A and B are shown apart, each in its own frame.
Chain A
């Protein structure tokens, strides 16, 4: 089954404790992306990747890192999380940059 898998689905942690949210897709997609979704602000793109070893900033990249060492994986790293990064995060992938995206089921992060 074609899917985008995110882990964990839920996480409560404390300020400053490094965390990684994993994202994996099984569709051999080239384009992958991370979004955060906040009430009243909608979906905002954090980082995206056109292909392996190619990543670029979206609209809200501050406080986040990503890497794309393999085509299927695109982890989101919060080196020193802060409470303003409490949000619902989605990973997405598509065949190419102008193609429909497939989304994961989301990761709800709470930073205390």
Chain B
């Protein structure tokens, strides 16, 4: 069964303290992996798409990487405005469904 697991469930960091969020997946073949950010009371907002192992994408303080089993979202020198829930989603080959992980709640303390 296709599965997406995110860890940790929650993470508290001091402003400027870099860290990584993990998304491990089990699918028969990866068509695409997506990272989203969700603020309270809002819909998820797209961050990155990764399609093949070895691929990396960057945007401001965020960098997403992909291996054959997992993806990492690296946050460098975070600021309080980076506080949000970060969601990972995958789409498998031969399937049009999209599976989300349960998310990581990130809190950056000033």
Contact = CB atoms under 8 A, between A and B. Distances in A.
| A and B associate in one complex | yes
Interface of A: 4, 33, 35, 40-45, 48, 50, 56, 58-59, 90, 92, 97-106
A103 B97 contact: no
B100 A50 contact: no
B92 to A, nearest CB: 10
Interface string B28-62: 00011010000001111110010100000000000
B65 interface: no
Given A43-B87, A90-B44, A103-B45, 18 more contacts: A33-B98, A40-B102, A48-B96, A48-B97, A48-B98, A56-B96, A56-B97, A58-B98, A90-B43, A92-B44, A97-B91, A97-B96, A98-B51, A100-B49, A101-B34, A101-B98, A103-B43, A106-B41
Nearest to A44: B100
Given A56-B96, A90-B44, A106-B42, A100 B34 contact: yes
Contacts, number: 58
| 4 A-B pairs with least C-beta separation | A103-B43, A42-B102, A43-B100, A100-B46
Interface of B: 31-32, 34, 41-46, 49, 51, 87, 89, 91, 96-103
B27 to A, nearest CB: 13
Contacts of B42: 105-106
Contacts of A90: 43-44
Given A98-B31, A98-B32, A45 B43 contact: no
Contacts of A99: 49
25 contacts: A40-B102, A41-B102, A42-B100, A42-B102, A42-B103, A43-B44, A45-B99, A45-B100, A48-B96, A48-B97, A48-B98, A56-B96, A56-B97, A58-B97, A97-B96, A98-B32, A99-B49, A101-B34, A102-B46, A103-B43, A104-B43, A105-B41, A105-B42, A106-B41, A106-B43
A98 B91 CA distance: 7
Nearest to B45: A103
